[in-house]
Structure 1
Amino acid sequence: MNRTDVHGTLREMWETRPARPRDDRQVAGVASAIARRYDLDPVLVRIGFVAAAFTGIGAALYIAGWIALPETPEDPAAPAHRPRPVLVVGLAVAAAVSIGFLFGDRGGVVVPALAVLALLFLLHRSRGDRVPRPVGPVADAPTAATPGPSLVKEDVPAPTPPAWDPLGAAPFAWDLPEPGPAQPPARPERPRRFPVTAVTLGLALLAGSATAVLLLLMGALVASNVPLVLGVGLGVIGAGLVVGAFLRSGRGLIPIALLLSALTWAAVAAPLDRWEAGGFGDLNATPTTLAQLQPVYQRSAGDITLDLRQLPLSGTGQVPTTATLGAGDLTVLVPADTDVKLNGSAGLGDVSLGGQKVSGPGAKLDVEDLGADNARSGQELVLTLSTGAGDVEVRRG
């Protein structure tokens, strides 16, 4: 494959892009349009968007498809509406800027975006010649015209007038059938599909309940194992989506899978065991001696602020302390010249020390900072700071 083939394929992908249908859509019809263009099941395409959402680019890809693919007009004879180029460029730039703000610190969207583009390119190369599925009902083929009754009077015995014309006023229409009551059009019978959604939800509930009961019998049913129970249910729903893709059913599982995925991800990123002890509310501490410095500061929810600027750290060795928070911001103030060793983590949030910063989810920062004088002097503060949902910040001054 040379450069000309790649350019030609990309040009063909743009020129033959499908229109978003009006009759089979969940949000804007992007997945349905792609499925009809390449003769795929729409559920498979929607699962692909859900998988892309976990890499941080799923929503941006769907918005891009919403912009790039025109919408099928209400009047089939009218041309499909296509957005203006200025609008397309503006929304694309806005989506790119949003991704940069959300995920720019990690740079983890470049590889998934290139992977998606490569998959679309290969899909068009292999199935680009497929005929798009029809958007609306197919019109019946015209039938041959049947000859009407003859208006020429023939030399035959006069027939008996029908019941609807007792006076014989319209003999030219006597060969028409007797009028009867109008019959309603027969409704086409829809093929019965396997209830994938209901069966999958039932199996997910049973699997999650069985896992919880098993953990209870083992004495391990604690908050930290909640992600395990959610993960079992999510696995069953994922299997149901795969089965439904082959049976063309189970679309109702998509919003449930999204919600359960978000809950599972949040439970993993912000461990629930930090909510089991420590109390609620803000905690402010300003120890002035090493004896007043507690080894552990803990809260389930709230903010923790430790002001360590008045500690006497003129000796030698290390001075450790730990602060754990379930949800909230954790701030530690230290002197400008004090040596600091930080082991910080945040499930959903940022961890920062001076000019060094790591963004979540799952942010971790292990660093040693010598302060403004950039030289070892006095005792070293060893800070072990962690929060489930919030920011961890160590400030000097």
Structure 2
Amino acid sequence: MSRTDVQDTLREMWETRPARPRNDRQVAGVAAAIARRYDIDPVLVRVGFVVAAFSGIGAALYIAGWILLPEEPAVPGAPAKARNPHGLILIGLGIAAVITLGTVFGGNGPDFVLPLIAVACLLYLLHRSRGVRGHQSQAGATAPPVAGQAPAAGTPGAPSAAATSTGTAAGSDPLTVPTSTATPPAWDPLGAAPFAWDLPEPSAPPPPPPPRKLPVTSVTLGLALLAGGITAVIMLLAGTLTLANLPVVLGVLLAVIGTGLVFGAFVRAGRGLIPFALILSALTWGAVSAPLDRWQSHGMGDLHAAPTALAQLQPTYQRTAGDVELDLRNLDLAVVPGGNSEAVRTSVSVGAGDVDIWVPPNADVTFTGEAGLGDVQFGDQMQSGPGSQVKVVNDLGADGVASGRPLVINAEIGAGNVEVHRG
């Protein structure tokens, strides 16, 4: 594939971009437009946007499609108006986009390069494989009639049988059967009984019943419960069924429901699985981002600690929910000749809350901070968003000289902010 082929394909993708429909849409019609353009089920496209949302780019991609794809023109005299997007959906989409952009500019920009490249490659391959199908179906739906072909009976522009036979019968011999030049009706294609053409058309047979859809939703939910129960029993027998391993069970449920969604997209069924997939995706993402092992029973409420001697320093400060303030500025970290020069270690673990740690201005500090949902900051180093992590090795402080006993601090938090202050 040459560079010219790629440029031609990209140009064709832009020139044949679909219009967002006014009906049959959930928010702004972006997923429905893409599905119509490439002749696929819109559920599959919506699932793709949901998956992209958990990688941090879904909301931004949807808003970009909203802006770049034109809206379908209104049909004159159409009785039904387009359903406007719900206000709460618009607000939520905007908030998600703001959070996405804030995370990108907060230091996690490279994490979004691979998802963007993956989405671009999928769109390119989709256009290469199915770009002609959707375009031809749209063109055929609005194709004008062939020149020279008479319009069918009952269509606009076709003369009525009664009017034509009346016009030709005027001035003719009343004893002879009038010869009509009108188009024969469908029930008399050979024109053998023109005298009865003014009779009404026979009633058409009732349309066949729509094909019965496969019970994808109910079957998938049953298989998901069965798979989740079997996984929980196996983990219980193995002694590994704990809160920390709950994401494993949630992942099994989500995998089964995701498989059902993909299968349902090809058989035009299973749309009832979308709410369950969204709820399970949010729970799984939250359990992975903020591990539940940090939410053990370690007390509730705020914790303030300011040890003045090394013997008062606890190896671990823990809270299930609440703020922790640890002031280490009064510790004596000096090393006397022949004295102990080993590192002084402590850690902080919080389920939900904020952690503030103060260290001496000249202390040699090694710090590791992790936040499932929140910010981690040490001096001018900061990480924001899910899975934030900051690691500082042997920061010498304001004097820039290695002196005294090193201070090693490890801080882990499920949801909240971690910040280390000097001085």
Range of TM-score over shorter length = 0.7 to 0.9
Amino acid corresponding to residue 22 of structure 1 in structure 2: R
In the TM superposition, 1:150-169 aligns within 5 A as: 154=174
Q: Give, in angstroms, the shift of residue 5 of structure 1.
A: 4.2
Q: Give, in angstroms, the shift of residue 134 of structure 1.
A: 5.1
Q: Which residue of 1 aligns with 2:211?
A: 191
Q: Which residue of 2 aligns with 1:101?
A: 102
Amino acid corresponding to residue 335 of structure 1 in structure 2: P
Question: What CA deviation, in whole Å up to 9, does each residue of 1:157-216 have, x standing for no partner?
Answer: xxxxxxxxxxxxxxxx999779xxxx9995762221012122212222232233334434
> Separation in 2 of the partners of 1:38 and 1:269?
35
Q: Give, in angstroms, the shift of residue 103 of structure 1.
A: 2.3
Kept after mapping to 1: 8 A contact 2:59/2:97: no
Confirm or deny that 1:354 pairs with 2:374: no
In the TM superposition, 1:367-378 aligns within 5 A as: 367=392, 368-378=394-404
Q: Give, in angstroms, the shift of residue 28 of structure 1.
A: 1.9
Kept after mapping to 1: 8 A contact 2:324/2:355: yes
Q: Give, in angstroms, the shift of residue 310 of structure 1.
A: 1.0
Confirm or deny that 1:111 pairs with 2:121: no
> Separation in 2 of the partners of 1:95 and 1:267?
19
Kept after mapping to 1: 8 A contact 2:365/2:406: yes
Confirm or deny that 1:310 pairs with 2:330: yes
In the TM superposition, 1:194-233 aligns within 5 A as: 194-233=214-253
> Separation in 2 of the partners of 1:210 and 1:372?
57
Q: Among residues 310, 315, 323, which one is paired with 2:348 in the alignment?
A: 323
Q: Which residue of 2 aligns with 1:45?
A: 45
Amino acid corresponding to residue 387 of structure 2 in structure 1: G
In the TM superposition, 1:236-275 aligns within 5 A as: 236-275=256-295
Q: Give, in angstroms, the shift of residue 263 of structure 1.
A: 1.0
Kept after mapping to 1: 8 A contact 2:103/2:385: no
Kept after mapping to 2: 8 A contact 1:339/1:378: yes
Question: TM-score by structure 2 length?
Answer: 0.76
Q: Give, in angstroms, the shift of residue 96 of structure 1.
A: 8.6
Q: Give, in angstroms, the shift of residue 51 of structure 1.
A: 2.6
Amino acid corresponding to residue 398 of structure 2 in structure 1: A
Kept after mapping to 2: 8 A contact 1:223/1:276: no
Q: Which residue of 2 aligns with 1:159?
A: none
Q: Which residue of 1 aligns with 2:188?
A: none
Task: Give the match's secondary structure for 1:305.
Answer: strand
Q: Give, in angstroms, the shift of residue 155 of structure 1.
A: 5.6
Q: Give, in angstroms, the shift of residue 275 of structure 1.
A: 1.2
Amino acid corresponding to residue 133 of structure 2 in structure 1: R
> Separation in 2 of the partners of 1:188 and 1:64?
42
Q: Which residue of 1 aligns with 2:20?
A: 20
Amino acid corresponding to residue 22 of structure 2 in structure 1: R
> Separation in 2 of the partners of 1:270 and 1:189?
50
> Separation in 1 of the partners of 2:68 and 2:290?
37
Q: Among residues 281, 301, 317, which one is paired with 2:321 in the alignment?
A: 301
Deviates more, 1:184-193 or 1:343-352: 184-193
Confirm or deny that 1:234 pairs with 2:254: yes
Aligned Cα RMSD in Å?
A: 3.4
Deviates more, 1:258-267 or 1:50-59: 50-59
Amino acid corresponding to residue 299 of structure 2 in structure 1: G
Q: Which residue of 1 aligns with 2:413?
A: 387
Question: TM-score by structure 1 length?
Answer: 0.80
Identity of matched residues, %: 59
> Separation in 2 of the partners of 1:120 and 1:218?
44
Kept after mapping to 1: 8 A contact 2:306/2:327: yes
Kept after mapping to 1: 8 A contact 2:59/2:96: no
Q: Give, in angstroms, the shift of residue 325 of structure 1.
A: 0.7
> Separation in 2 of the partners of 1:5 and 1:380?
60
> Separation in 2 of the partners of 1:184 and 1:389?
66
Which consecutive unaligned segments of at least 5 residues does structure 1 have? 79-93, 157-172
